[in-house]
Chains A and B, each alone.
Chain A
């Protein structure tokens, strides 16, 4: 006698209760506050905002807490929340020239207006575990200087004056929104950039790295990498002018790549572009490299069959929420389809064995 397995409802409730307990961990250890995560895990917060496509540090910090530090899970929470928000309009393009730069480096000119500002970078830290941090996280006094008041011109603008860098055509006033229209190919560059900026950091990094190692190689000079706060302005129809609705921190990377030219046009450098929410420079540089690799058709280059040149491959596989959902769904029950395969393979084996024994008899 057999009693059918039941209890899906109870299993789910119990699993959720256990999960909540595990999330909290040892209750003799003080609980993390949202402010602690926001302030002390800020790069994780930045990644969640960038890939969640929602600029809200407190919400991102809360998502990280809820997700037990699993950043893809936190990004998922943010995305699912974001979908429920109404889209009430689009901002004006941000002016990164007016950025209050925390960091601004150029790999192409030793000095330029605005200077080289290292900012709070890991770059020249020796990666030695700082055991002192285990006991005491206090910081010593940090030297302070007055911030630069005037705009910091883009390095590219100096090349542009000499006509050395390819000019970008002005885009549509309002590009399509990747999150509101189905992706159809070929996609505009604006859509590609939207996809890359919210794409998985690891995936975009891997793709960018592959171009450096020879899969559609096109050496990139980092003309400029800048990180800082910019104002977001929006046109209010009732007012007839734009007002500032907030301030966000972004990372912008512009690369200079090798030239093209023709009989009628002298050679010019070409561009790759990366722009990501928050302090996220690994992602911004990667994005610029992949952006450049995807532009092969528009720039009249050969399709070398490299993964980073394949728009469909990149755009359909860079989203970690899509990827992780589909990947993990294979742990759901598949009894029914597996059963149909079981029957099929038993039948095929039976037939094959009959054939083999028949041939042996002959």
Chain B
């Protein structure tokens, strides 16, 4: 159903694209510099725009989840931490676009909407958080399988790892098994786009 990426390929790409990132400085600044130095293919820019949309959805969701104040202190801590992570992810992927001379979408450009009752209880928040994190993880794994420019793969690879941590926490918080598939599904760009659309007004 969906394209998948092997662990070896992921590590290989992470090593190629991400090695420089580990040296020094922020991921955002460096990715922007890379994008400015070498024009990115149109398809890569399209994928990055989609990832910007994914991060805006995640940030919007966690902002509302925290504001709802329906989770216990421990869960709220993770919701706030996830929000912080997603805001950092947004800065990273939007930085790729900025570096390429493009204007990334910002909060307010997209009106998100959620199923009724999404923020009414801790359980409903956790369930939707898990669904959105699985979407994010699939989006980044799909991006890593589809991006053509090795120079911009480092950020998405590290973000995918972060999203996987979120998936693990929310799975556990809902009473599920933290470890699931050895190879989580990667989603294609159209699968992610259609899934994202379900949360837009």
* Same assembly: no
